[in-house]
Structure 1
Amino acid sequence: MSLSASIMRSLEDLLIVLSGEHDTLPAAEVKAILEAEGVEAEVLEERRFILRLKAPRDCCLRIAERASMVMGCYLELFKCPAEEDAVVETASRVDWSFLSGRSFAVRLLRKGGCKTGASTVRLEALIGGVAKRGSEGSKVDLRRPEVAVKGVIVDGQLYLGVARAEVSRGVFDERRPRRRPFFHPSALEPKLARLFVNLARARKGDLLFDPFAGTGSILMEAALIGCSPVGVDVDAEMVRGCTANLRHYTPHAPGAVRGDARRPPIRRADCIATDPPYGRVSSTRGEELDRLLSDSLTSCSDLIPRGRCICLATPSWLSLAEEAEDLGLKAVEEHLLRVHKSLSRRIIVLRRP
């Protein structure tokens, strides 16, 4: 998007390091978070493992708090070919005075599997040497540095920045389906559930609705970013299990009730995120899947106000594009995600204009 000159002057070059576990979803998640948080930003470059932005530096903290497919957010120092001479020349043009009197460490990662070019250890040493010479009283501390200078090498390019906010991705493992009080093999992994919430452009304080709540994966992640999540499920056992999971991880969340996605028990919602039943271990209670999803979309589309979004998944062979258009919904984005050998998800985001 184009930004005004006055806004541009208040922005900085940011480097967002992505997990790279999918070609398009990690970058899409970051852009959705920025939209949800009302942050104006310009995309400078987008690749599988990195997203370069011109944006306010404080958005790094908001991205790190919400994202599931981000490794860290950095204030960009430079980008150059990952070759010794180019790195030294480019690093020598950086004002390293921000390190004066402080300890620091330089750490590089190589992403994408390419092993050619200078070693990361060699490049770390070269950058560290230039930085030390350019900052009075600084010292290298590889164990507990006050400033972390980090970079990634992607497709022969080195991207370097100062750590602003890093993501503790291990917290998602604590909520993995088998660690919950109630387990069902159809449960959505917490990273994907958080992704759905973010793609729905959920905001703190929003009422987020999940018409196929299942074990509560999406409801939990919505509650953890400050939403008031409400869900329904036709299966009484799932509702009991969902309630148990929510009480364990997010006792403040409203929870789920037994009901039919085609007849929502609420009159309005700020956004909708859902992963309907369609896999081997999921049940549609004898309903034809395409009819069930079409009818539920029809019933739920009127719940959200203009400008807000629905994020839902379908099997890759099923598209709801025509139904969405007939309902006056606009497709914002679509992604294919492989689940296993015989199943891929189609993740689609719809907006009510």
Structure 2
Amino acid sequence: MKFLVVFAQAHADFRIPELQSVAELYGFNIGLLDDADPSRPFMVLELTDESHARLLARRCILIKSVCEFYARGATYDEVHERNRLCRPQWEQYIPDTSFKFVVAAYNHSIPQRRQKDVVESFSYMDFLGKIDMKTPEITMVVYEELGMLSDDDKHGTTREKHEGDGEFREVFFGRLIEDGTARSLMKKFDVKKRVFYGNTSMEAEISLLMANQTLASPGKLIYDPFVGTGSMTYTTAHFGALVFGSDIDGRQMRGKEKRPGIIRAAAQYGVDQRIVDLCTFDVTRNPWRCGGLFDAIITDPPYGVRAGAKRLGRKNRRTKTEHDSRSRPFQPSERPDDQPYIPPTRPYELSALAADLVRLARYLLKPGGRLVFFLPTVTEEYAELDLQTFLCEGMEVIANSLQDFGSWGRRLITVRKTTHRVYLPPTFDPEGRREECEAEHVPAHKDFRQKYFEGFKKGRQSGTPEEVDSPQG
């Protein structure tokens, strides 16, 4: 069976990965046609059952509606010719089914008079049921798609009202099965309405897309090692998963009130009982003593634009005198106040963080588990080979979606654990395998913070993040 999917006008690169993830979650396959183009708002899929189309409409954030597909063509003559050939699909509705027609457009607007003409052109279908514009039993939908406007023609969001036929990129026709309901979750998880958030909180739509990539569902245990203010925690918990979070800075999770901020926000969404725990530690010095715990790891690692990644340690190595003094017997000193001790930290370079995160995921994930994280890259420098610099044995990239900001972008990377082999905990060697990879290829995400504050200038000198004399955003 073929179905027409109508997408929301956002995040085109994320559409197919989300479809495939939701299909895997519910255990069915999606057939993509050879001409499937994720940049277009319409896509025809092959599914084995109508119930699968409904599942996609209810779970995919980027779907506006799903229709049973009847016909497509560059002109209405082609559409009508092909629609007549698929009469067995719609003839069951002829005798006594109430109906209505909807004519919609992409990239242009349709005058009311021409909408009527379009509807009347389908009169050969001979529907005998009642026309019901409020609560029809079936809704037949026509979608007109025109090509993108050229830069010279752009005066607004749509073209002049189109009066004729034959100038379409394509026209689609089908029966509406279900409107997408998952997009309403964007309002529910709107950061502006949240009781606890910070300057690094992820926007609701992206958080929901990430949750779908993890296959979040009841019975799953999901971990966020850079949980911050918990944006991904709420969305994964909403879909039924149990969530564990950690961060090197406990203040990010707690906020200023007695009850931790993440727990307060989770209670706002009714998912506080699905937060297993929140702990403060450095992922490179973590307390995990056995692997294979989690079904998925989801995170947005800090990359230095609004907040820099940190790991325990000092920026400058101790001198020999300092080392000698540390070997002497411990002598407690009085603190001027009762504030807790905050250990020193040093910057955590992004390419090192990405490689360590993948190795940590290989240790902590169950076989088949997923790691979903954002990786910022410089647009002109990015190459597919960049991903190989942080991959390791037993881990493969299954999705790579770009959110483009012009000179740079961030890529939502989905990595799956493909092995049942039991690995030892990673050592997080600051040198190790990463230098071997970078000797052959320097990835576009290396020293990203420095490149960002330098405006992505060509011919820059490579340096360490702490050498950049620029304030954080």
Report TM bin, short chain: 0.7 to 0.9
Query: Which residue of the other structure, out of 48, 52, 55, is the alignment partner of 1:62?
Result: 55
Superposition pairs of residues 76-91 of structure 1, within 5 angstroms: 76-81=69-74, 83-91=75-83
Superposition pairs of residues 63-212 of structure 1, within 5 angstroms: 63-81=56-74, 83-93=75-85, 94=87, 95-98=90-93, 100-111=95-106, 113=107, 121-122=115-116, 124-126=118-120, 129-131=123-125, 133=126, 135-136=127-128, 138-155=129-146, 156-168=169-181, 169-212=183-226
Instruction: Tell me which residue corresponds to 1:281.
Output: 306
Distance of 2:228 and 2:118 partners within structure 1: 47
In the superposition, the TM-score normalised over structure 1's length comes to 0.84
Taking structure 1 as reference, are residues 352 and 198 closer, same or farther at Cα in structure 2, changes over 3 Å only?
Answer: same
Instruction: Tell me which residue corresponds to 2:17.
Output: 28
Q: Does structure 1 retain, via aligned residues, the 8 Å contact 2:80–2:122?
A: no
DSSP 3-state at the match of 2:102 = strand
Instruction: Tell me which residue corresponds to 1:3.
Output: none
DSSP 3-state at the match of 1:139 = coil
Deviations 1:305-346 (A, max 9, x none): 2223211111114886234433431121212212x4664102
Could you tell me how far 1:182 is from its partner in structure 2?
0.6
Instruction: Tell me which residue corresponds to 1:260.
Output: 282
Unaligned runs of 5+ in 2: 147-168, 255-260, 311-345, 419-473
Instruction: Tell me which residue corresponds to 2:28.
Output: 39
Distance of 1:123 and 1:190 partners within structure 2: 41
DSSP 3-state at the match of 2:66 = strand
Query: Which residue of the other structure, out of 262, 269, 272, is the alignment partner of 2:294?
Result: 269
Taking structure 1 as reference, are residues 350 and 271 closer, same or farther at Cα in structure 2, changes over 3 Å only?
Answer: same
Taking structure 1 as reference, are residues 262 and 301 closer, same or farther at Cα in structure 2, changes over 3 Å only?
Answer: farther
Q: Does structure 1 retain, via aligned residues, the 8 Å contact 2:67–2:177?
A: yes
Taking structure 1 as reference, are residues 264 and 288 closer, same or farther at Cα in structure 2, changes over 3 Å only?
Answer: closer
Could you tell me how far 1:128 is from its partner in structure 2?
5.1
Instruction: Tell me which residue corresponds to 1:6.
Output: none
Superposition pairs of residues 333-344 of structure 1, within 5 angstroms: 333-338=399-404, 340=405, 343-344=408-409
Distance of 1:58 and 1:19 partners within structure 2: 21
Across the aligned residues of Structure 1 and Structure 2, the Cα RMSD in angstroms comes to 2.8
In the superposition, the TM-score normalised over structure 2's length comes to 0.64
DSSP 3-state at the match of 2:284 = coil
Could you tell me how far 1:22 is from its partner in structure 2?
2.7
DSSP 3-state at the match of 2:229 = coil
Distance of 1:114 and 1:144 partners within structure 2: 27
Q: Which has the larger radius of gyration?
A: 2
Instruction: Tell me which residue corresponds to 1:233.
Output: 247
Taking structure 1 as reference, are residues 320 and 203 closer, same or farther at Cα in structure 2, changes over 3 Å only?
Answer: farther
Taking structure 1 as reference, are residues 60 and 311 closer, same or farther at Cα in structure 2, changes over 3 Å only?
Answer: same
Instruction: Tell me which residue corresponds to 1:321.
Output: 387
Taking structure 1 as reference, are residues 120 and 192 closer, same or farther at Cα in structure 2, changes over 3 Å only?
Answer: farther
Could you tell me how far 1:39 is from its partner in structure 2?
0.5
Deviations 1:268-320 (A, max 9, x none): 10112211112532232442332233323322221112223211111114886
- Moved >6 Å (runs of 4+): none
DSSP 3-state at the match of 1:314 = strand
Instruction: Tell me which residue corresponds to 1:244.
Output: 264
Taking structure 1 as reference, are residues 313 and 92 closer, same or farther at Cα in structure 2, changes over 3 Å only?
Answer: same
Deviations 1:24-51 (A, max 9, x none): 2112211121122210232125222123
Taking structure 1 as reference, are residues 96 and 296 closer, same or farther at Cα in structure 2, changes over 3 Å only?
Answer: same
Q: Which amino acid aligns with 2:91?
A: W
DSSP 3-state at the match of 1:85 = helix
- Identical amino acids, percent of aligned pairs: 20
Taking structure 1 as reference, are residues 224 and 194 closer, same or farther at Cα in structure 2, changes over 3 Å only?
Answer: same
More strand by share: 1
Distance of 1:154 and 1:171 partners within structure 2: 27
Superposition pairs of residues 287-302 of structure 1, within 5 angstroms: 287-290=347-350, 291-302=352-363
